[in-house]
Amino acid sequence: MNGKLSVGAKGWAYADVLPYFKRAENNERFANHYHAYGGPLGVSNPVSPLPICEAFFQAGQELGIPFNPDFNGEKQEGLGHYQLTQLHAKRSSASTAYLRPIQHRSNLTVLLDAFTQRIILSDKRAIAVEVIHPEASKSGIYYADREIIISSGAIGSPKLLMQSGIGPADHLRDVGIELKHHLSGVGANFQDHLDLFVIAECTGNHTYDAYSSPFLAAWAGLQYLLLKKGPVASSLFETGGFWYADETARSPDIQLHLGLGSGIESGVEHMTNPGVTLNSALLRPRSRGTVRLANANPSSAPLIDPNYWADPYDREMSMKGLRLAREILSQPALKRFVLEEKLPGNSKVTDQQLFEYACANAKTDHHPVGTCRIGNGDDAVVASDLKVHGIDGLRIVDASVMPRVPSCNTNAPTIMVAEKAADLILGKTLHITDKAHENTLAFTE
């Protein structure tokens, strides 16, 4: 986070957004400059990590990768436990943390199973939403007294804008939608993290694959009911870390997740013993993709082109990340736990072989961002107050406003965006005390 604040992102420097990360957090372990307790979102460390996790940390140290007790603190590099959005061994989500406590308020109505067709504009102002619902009485047009907030994510938000006639003029004409407001950046600038896998067979029952038998599955349920521990209390990806593919990078550019099982990935042959997975993902890809409409029918799925590895640099660094994962799993500290690599497999050693394997087996990390990016340039969609450029009464509050994918999972940054948006809507400001980082941009190359 060493880049300088860019034009159009005023109020989104590191020092500006850190208080919103902390305001959201109810951290069971840390309360310091980077963490807080008392917020709505439960955050905790894993309750019952398996012995293979400790061996994973030792394997990293054998390669010179240190143990890190807090990736979200002063330093990101190293291997360690992920902090989980859990509270008392239960999942803590935006729904349970924010919505459930207020769901009975008289001024809140949640309409389930509703499908928004479009935003209705009048003289460059968003005035209503058109909704279809299985119950005919709930379908219709809902008018806004003040403003409309779109929070449909990096795929849904640009889709809804374009359905409403807001977006790239040429594309909207091509699909037969009347242009209401030209914004070239809608649906552009798509970014995501791409996961590559190394899957190995274990020497014994060292991961949660062992609980696939009915007896052990029942035991897992009993463990959770009585002790709030075991696989039911696990996220399955409780440990991992951040390290370097590009040795000149300013901060770690590879994220690792140790999966306590072999998953159900295609190409994994039957294994006698449980398996273990180590994922790697390039954190700061240079490639950009798009979200576009297939046609003018709002019910049609959008056309998503992530454009992964369009930039050769992304391919090169991703292959280095894959090799790093293989190297970690082959270290002496893990010999007691890891029997043999199954994917990519020992026969795949050249860059071309690994690239072909990656093309066949890579998957999204489910971190899409950027398609309604913040800024003041021609490709920007929202201003620093998250209002859509050129349209009154319309904001976007989700990961689509991030100008580039952050070097981490997107859950916490998206909640931060929502926390800050709440203050923007209410006209509140926070006093910034971290002067050392007041010009450091939260989302940097």
Burial 100-109 (b: 16+ CB within 10 A, else e): eeeeeeeeee
User: In terms of DSSP bridges, do strands 239-243 and 303-305 run parallel, antiparallel, or are they unpaired?
Assistant: unpaired
CA atoms within 13 A on the CB side of 304: 19
Taking alpha carbons only, the member of 272, 279, 442, 315 closest to residue 369 is 442
Taking alpha carbons only, the member of 345, 200, 213, 210 closest to residue 275 is 200
Is the separation of the CB atoms in 370 and 404 below 8 Å?
yes
Is the separation of the CB atoms in 342 and 125 below 8 Å?
no
CA atoms within 13 A on the CB side of 173: 6
Residues 367, 389, 431, 437: which is the catalytic one? Answer: 367
Task: Spell out the residues 6+ positions from residue 137 whose beta carbon is closer than 8 angstroms to its own.
Answer: none
Compute how many other C-beta atoms are within 10 angstroms of the C-beta atom of residue 318.
Answer: 25
Tokens for 335, please give them.
């010999």
Q: Which residues pair with 78 in a beta bridge?
A: 242
**Residue 321 to residue 65: CA distance in whole angstroms:** 14
367 is catalytic: yes
Q: Which residues are catalytic?
A: 367
